[in-house]
Amino acid sequence: MKKKIALITGITGQDGSYLSEYLLKKKYIVHGLNRRTSLFNTDRIDHLFNGKKYKNSFFLHYGDLTDPGSIDEIIRKVKPDEIYHLAAQSHVKVSFETPEYTTNTIALGTLRILESIRKNNSKIKFYNASTSEMYGDTKKSPQDEKTTFLPNSPYGIAKLYSHLLTKHYREAYKIFACSGILFNHESPRRGQTFVTKKIISALVKIKNGEQDCLYLGNLYSKRDWGHAREYVEAQHKMLQMKKPDDFVISTGKQYSIKTFVNKVLSQLKIKGKWQGKGLNENYTCRGKKIIAISKKYFRPQDVTNLLGNSKKAKKFLNWKPKIKLDDLIFEMIEEETKISNNT
Ligand code: NAP
Ligand code: GDD
C-alpha cells in the first residue's frame, strides 16, 4: 500500500516534533517546512533527521509563512495527502510587541496555504492549529466549540481569522479542512519563554544554586494544561474522520499560575512562604526572595480563565487525555534537572 505523505509546518516546534514522531511510527512519509534561522533550530527533531532509521521518510524544506512562493513550491513538490499547519509566531505577549508580523505569519500564512491547496489539489486534507486564546474575554466556562470567541490579543485575533478562514474553505470549496481548538499543552520540549517551562527551569536552577530569583507576571490567570504528546494524536485523528469538523482539545481541569508554581515547589521540596500583594508579592525561602513579580511580564490584556470541555472529541475522535498535570510537571522537572546537571 502507498505510504501516506504528510507536510508539517512548524516542524521544529514543540508540537511539530511530537507529531513527526507519531506519524513516522504510523509509517507516514513526513516532510517539514523549516524556516531559515541564524542558529540551528532543529534540536527537537535532530533525533529523527540524523541517523538511518528515517533516512527515506523524513525530509525538510526551507520555506517561510511570510513567503507565499516558498509555500506553494513545497506543496507542489511534496504532493502531500495531509497538511498539518502548526507554524506560527506563537507567543501571546510577543504578539503585542510585533502585531503586524504576528498577523502576517498567522492570518496570511494560513490563507497562503489554503489558497495553494485550492489551486493545486483540493483533495489535500488540512489541519489548522486553532487555540483557546480565541475565547479571550469570554465569561462562559467551561468553553466548547459553541462558545463565542472574544479574542483580546493580536495573536488571538489572527488565530480567529485563520479559524474562520479554515471553516470558509471547508464550506465554500469543500476542502477537508479542520481546526483543533487546543488548550495550553506543555512538555519537556516547550519553548523557554512559556510560563510552565520558565517556572520549572528557573526553580530547578535556584535549587541547584545556579539562579537567584524567578520573576513572573500575572499569577492569577487560570489555564487548562495538557501534555503535547497526547494532543498531537488528536490532530491526526481529526484528519482521519469521515467529515471535516472542529474540535476542542483540553483536559477539563484548571489551575492558576500560582498553583502551578506551588506544585513545582512541592515536587522540588523547596520550602518557604508567600507574602506581600500585587507587585510586591514574593516567595521567600530561608530568608531569600526566590520568586518576585515584575511589571515586564504583564500583558496589556490577559486571558484570565481558560477551561475546556472536550466532550465532542471524546465522542467523535475517541480521544481523551490520560496524563495528569502532576505527572507532566514530574517529566518536565526530570528533563530540566538533566540539563542543569550537564551545564
Ligand atoms: P512553537 O513551539 O512555538 O512552534 C512554532 C513553530 O512555528 C516553530 O517550528 C517555528 O520555527 C515555526 N515558525 C514561526 N514563525 C515561522 C515563519 N514565519 N515561517 C515558518 N515557520 C515559522 O509552537 P507549538 O507550541 O508547537 O504550537 C504549534 C501551533 O499550535 C502554533 O500554531 C500555536 O500557535 C498553536 N497552539 C499552541 C498551543 C500550545 O499550548 N502549545 C495551544 C493552542 C494552539 P522556529 O523553530 O524556527 O522558531
Ligand atoms: N510567558 C509568561 N511568562 N507568562 C506568564 C508569566 C511569565 O513570566 N507570568 C505570568 N504569566 C501568565 C500569562 O500572563 C498567562 O496568563 C499565563 O501565564 C500563560 O502564559 P503562557 O505560558 O505564555 O501561555 P499563553 O496561555 O499566553 O499562550 C499559550 O497557550 C495558548 C493556548 O491557550 C501559547 O502556547 C499559545 O500559542 C497558545 O495558543
Q: How far apart, in Å, do the first and last CA atoms of the chain sit?
A: 47
Q: What is the pLDDT of residue 343?
A: 66
Pocket test for ligand 2, best of 143, 155, 184 (most atoms within 8 A of CB): 184
Q: Which residues of the chain fall short of a pLDDT of 50? A: none
Residue whose C-alpha is closest to residue 101's, from 35, 44, 178, 166: 35
Atom of ligand 1 minimally distant from the CA of 12: 9
Ligand 1 pocket, residues with Cβ under 6 angstroms: 10, 12-16, 35, 37, 41, 64-66, 86-90, 105, 129, 131, 182, 184-185, 191
Residues 111 and 175 in one domain: yes
Residue with cell 516542524: 11
Q: Which domain holds residue 260?
A: 195-219+256-301+337-342
Tell me how many domains the chain contains.
2
pLDDT, one tens digit per residue, over 113-155 is 999 999 999 999 999 999 999 999 999 999 999 999 999 999 9
Could you tell me which of 60, 26, 54 has the C-alpha nearest to residue 41?
60
Residue-level length of the chain: 343
3-state SS, one letter per residue, for 40-82: CCCCCCHHHHCCCCCCCCEEEEECCCCCHHHHHHHHHHHCCCE
Residue type, 73: E
What pLDDT does 342 receive? 74
pLDDT attached to residue 339: 84
Dist. CA 305–CA 222, nearest whole Å: 5
- Whether residues 285 and 313 fall in one domain: no
Q: Are residues 232 and 120 in the same domain?
A: yes
Contacts of 11 (CB under 8 A, 6+ apart): 17, 20, 30, 32, 33, 34, 45, 60, 86
Task: Specify whether the CB–CB gap between 59 and 35 falls below 8 A.
Answer: no
CATH code at position 205: 3.90.25.10
Q: Is residue 330 part of a domain?
A: no
In a domain, 328, yes or no: no
Let me know whether 270 and 178 are in one domain.
Answer: no
Check residue 197 and give its pLDDT: 98
Q: Are residues 119 and 51 in the same domain?
A: yes
The 3-state DSSP class for residue 7 equals strand
- Phi first, then psi: give them for residue 30, nearest 5 degrees: -110, 125
Put simply, whether the predicted model's pTM sits higher than 0.75 gets the answer yes
Q: Which three cell numbers stand for residue 198?
A: 520558565
Task: Tell me whether residue 14 is exposed, middle or buried, using C-beta atoms within 10 angstroms of its C-beta: 0 to 12, 13 to 18, 19 or more.
Answer: buried
- The DSSP call for residue 134 is G
Residue nearest to atom 24 of ligand 2 (CA): 194
Is 332 within the bounds of a domain?
no
170 falls within a domain: yes
Radius of gyration for the alpha carbons in the chain, expressed in angstroms and rounded: 20
- What is the rounded (10 degree) CA torsion for 62, 68, 72, 73? -40
Do 26 and 172 fall within a single domain? Answer: yes
Predicted pLDDT of residue 1? 82
pLDDT recorded at residue 340:
78
Closest CA to 117 of 155, 163, 161, 68: 68
